[in-house]
Amino acid sequence: MIDTVDLTKKFGDKTAVNGLTLHVNDGEVFGFLGPNGAGKTTTVRMLTCLISKTSGEASIGDYQVGNKNDQVKIRKMVGLLPENAGLYDDLSAYENLDFFARLYKVPEAQRKESIERFLKMLDLWDKRDQTAGTFSKGMKQKLAIARALMHDPQVLFLDEPTANLDPEASKTVRDFILELKKEKKTIFLNTHNLDEAQRICDRIGILNTKLMVVGAPETLMESLRGRRISVKLVQVNEAIVAALARTGFEKVTIEGNNLVIDVKDPEKENPGIVETIIKAGGGVQFVNDLRPTLEDVYLKLVRG
Amino acid sequence: MDLETVWTIASKDLRLFRRKKSIFYAVIIFPIIISIGLPGLIGYVATKASTSTAVLVGLLDSFSFFFAIIATIIPTVISSYSIVGEKVEKSLEPLLATPATDDEILLGKSLASSIPAILAVFLGATIFMILTDAVTYGKLGYLYYPNWNMALVILVIAPLSVVFSVEGNILVSARVNDVRTATQLGSLIVLPYFAIYLLSEIRLISVDTTSLFIIAAIVLVADVFLFYLSRATFRREEILTKWK
């Protein structure tokens, strides 16, 4: 659905996006992670035809980004939630949505139906006649997402949809994105929130001007450093560590009464580890799987 | 260009202006003050025995030109909000992401700024003409308004001046970040008009039909020049990346 080849954007001497090559599948939720200034918003702006590309190729569906004849077609098939909700504070929730639906030429009957459907889904129907200026941040963000969906776009670009929201509002927005995922919409999600990316996205790309890595959250986490387990003992002693070393588990770290052990295949190796510890006189209380988090992957890549 | 899109954008802005009290009053109050205040002043001057008919007619011609000034001032208030207001509320990006073209957005916003200004000029001029005729009939012995000069001012120069002001304000809007600064800088557009008015008051020029045609031609040329300049300024990439 979204393809870029060597996509680059320069502002004067500064390169904002450097040679981005990416493929996002139809119906996929793709998370774009990166620090401030990494080029995430610039990428979204290029793909939604808001700004031009300096070089490279990009396409949304069958349409070429940068081709003048395709620009309006791309804008019709994508929905954008920018970093700022950008609502008209003096217009009501209904009027805000109606205005944008009209710009997308949504027929009147469909317009009314969509507005009612989304406002009800987002618990805003009772407040449809209130001006957006009276809404909380979370309500504004929900309304802005509804605005991006008014014309039933095939592709949805969400730029930091939960930034600056309280936990409850963030959850509502995340749940709504998960609902959209069920509808098989292609979603391109810019976020700083690693937990959110891990929970929502099918695949994740980490950008720091250049695309550093792409993959499913699980794959990225496992690719970082294999797997580790943590064994909580009644009492750790050197004899247990030595016994583990003799059976091939040499990478063992002691953290209080926990032994953190590097393993390749925990499902097969855990019984042997537990047996070795017990034979060495240890008392096993818990065995936990220690997977690297997405944060570990992110920090390693971004900090180099 | 899709005129339905243009009107959707214009009608949204017009609705916002109606709800922004500061804009609503600015559009209404200034023309009312001029259209009632000036006849009051004229009536006072006309009652003075020392005022000759020629002086009174010169005064009426100069005051007629005030409606060209109003036509320049009102869009300053509206278009400052129309563009800078959207910048402040961060609502330009979602608007620019729609299929509306740059020209449709620009024309919609220009229309939204122009329509209230032109209506205010027409309304103000009508009140002004009725009241002025009422207070000068006794002295002149005939109804001075409507006349060709006034028709030229409100039907030709005022609309051209509205366009001049709107385009000038779009250029200003690209450079500033708050509505008040935009309004203040945009107000400078009115200076040439005040200069013409003052020159007519001190009798260095006369606001006769020929002068008005020349002024209309100059404003038209300025409009064409500013149209291309504002069109070049109002491009989505410029707005998103260079507008400060």
State ipTM.
0.81
Tally A–B CB contacts below 8 A. 70
pLDDT tens digits along A151-196: 999 999 999 888 878 888 888 888 888 888 888 889 999 988 888 8
Top pLDDT among A273 and B22 is at A273
Q: What's the rounded mean pLDDT across residues A5-28?
A: 92
**A91–B16: do the CB atoms touch at under 8 Å?**
yes
- Among B19, B97, B241, the residue with its CB nearest the CB of A90 is B19
* pLDDT (average), residues B24-38: 86
Residues of A in contact with B97 (CB under 8 A): 48, 50, 75, 78, 80, 82
Across the interface, of A52, A76, A103, the residue whose CB is closest to B237 is A52
C-alpha to C-alpha distance for B81 and B8, rounded to whole angstroms: 17
Q: Which residues belong to CATH 3.40.50.300 in chain A?
A: 2-215
pLDDT digits 0-9 by tens, A263-300: 888 888 889 999 999 998 989 999 988 777 777 777 77
pLDDT on residue B43? 87
In the chain, the amino acid numbered A41 is: T
Average confidence (pLDDT) over A69-96: 92
C-beta atoms of B89 and A144 within 8 A: no
Average pLDDT value for chain B:
86
Q: Tens digits of per-residue pLDDT, A145-158?
A: 999 999 999 999 99
A219 in Cβ contact with A247 (< 8 Å): no
Q: Is A229 helix (H, G, I), strand (E, B) or coil?
A: strand
d(Cα B219, Cα B222) in Å, to the nearest integer? 5
**Facing residue for A103 by CB, picked from B16, B98, B237:** B98
Q: How far apart are CA A150 and CA A209, in angstroms?
A: 32
pLDDT-based confidence at B56, cuts 50/70/90?
Answer: confident
- Preferred mutation among B14, B93, B239 to probe A, highest tally of A CBs within 10 A: B93
Residue B243 — pLDDT band, cuts 50, 70, 90? low
Can you give the pLDDT at residue A304? 64
Lowest mean pLDDT among A37-41, A257-261, B200-204: B200-204
Beta strand A227-233 with A210-215: parallel, antiparallel or unpaired?
unpaired
Q: What is the mean pLDDT of chain A?
A: 88
Q: Where does the pLDDT of residue A143 fall: very low under 50, low under 70, confident under 90, or very high at 90 and above? A: very high
Residue range A117-137: mean pLDDT, rounded? 91
Provide the pLDDT for residue B242: 66
Q: What is the pLDDT of residue B139?
A: 84
Q: What is the pLDDT of residues B165-199, one digit of tens each?
A: 988 888 887 777 777 777 777 778 888 888 888 88
Q: Give residue A224's pLDDT.
A: 60
CA distance A268 to A212: 33
CA B108 to chain centre: 17
The pLDDT of residue A83 is: 86
- Tally the domains of chain B: 1
CATH class in words for A2-215: alpha beta
pLDDT confidence band for B58 (50 / 70 / 90) = confident
Q: What is the structure's pLDDT at A125? A: 92
DSSP E strand stretches across chain A: 2-11, 14-24, 29-33, 55-60, 63-64, 78-81, 155-159, 186-191, 203-208, 210-215, 227-233, 252-255, 258-263, 284-290
First-residue to last-residue Cα distance in chain A: 31
Confidence of residue A225 (pLDDT cuts 50, 70, 90): low
pLDDT, average across residues A56-73: 90
Q: Say if residue B46's pLDDT is above 60.
A: yes
Q: What is the mean pLDDT of residues A100-110?
A: 94
Contact B240 A88 (CB under 8 A): no
In angstroms, rounded to a whole number, what is the distance separating the alpha carbons of residues A50 and A75?
A: 9
Specify the residue for token string 């001497």. A13
Any B CB within 8 A of A164 CB: no
Start-end of H helices in chain B = 3-19, 21-47, 53-64, 66-79, 86-88, 92-96, 102-140, 148-152, 158-173, 179-187, 191-201, 209-233, 236-241
A252-255/A78-81 β-pairing: unpaired
Count the helices and strands in chain A (H runs, E runs): 11, 14
Which of A103, A105, A147, A155 would you mutate first to test chain B, the one with the most B CBs within 10 A? A103
Task: From B20, B56, B241, select the one nearest B141 (Cα to Cα).
Answer: B56
CA dihedral A88, A90, A94, A98 (to 10 degrees): -50
**Interatomic CA distance for residues A186 and A30, integer angstroms:** 8
Judge: A51–B237 Cβ closer than 8 Å, yes or no.
yes
> What is d(CA B117, CA B13) in angstroms, rounded to the nearest whole number?
13
B240/A45 CB distance under 8 A:
yes
CATH top-level class of A223-292: alpha beta
Chain B residue with CA closest to A46: the answer is B237
**Full domain range(s) for residue B162:** 3-241
Most A CBs within 10 Å, among B4, B12, B236, to test the A interface: B12
Mean per-residue pLDDT for B212-239? 86
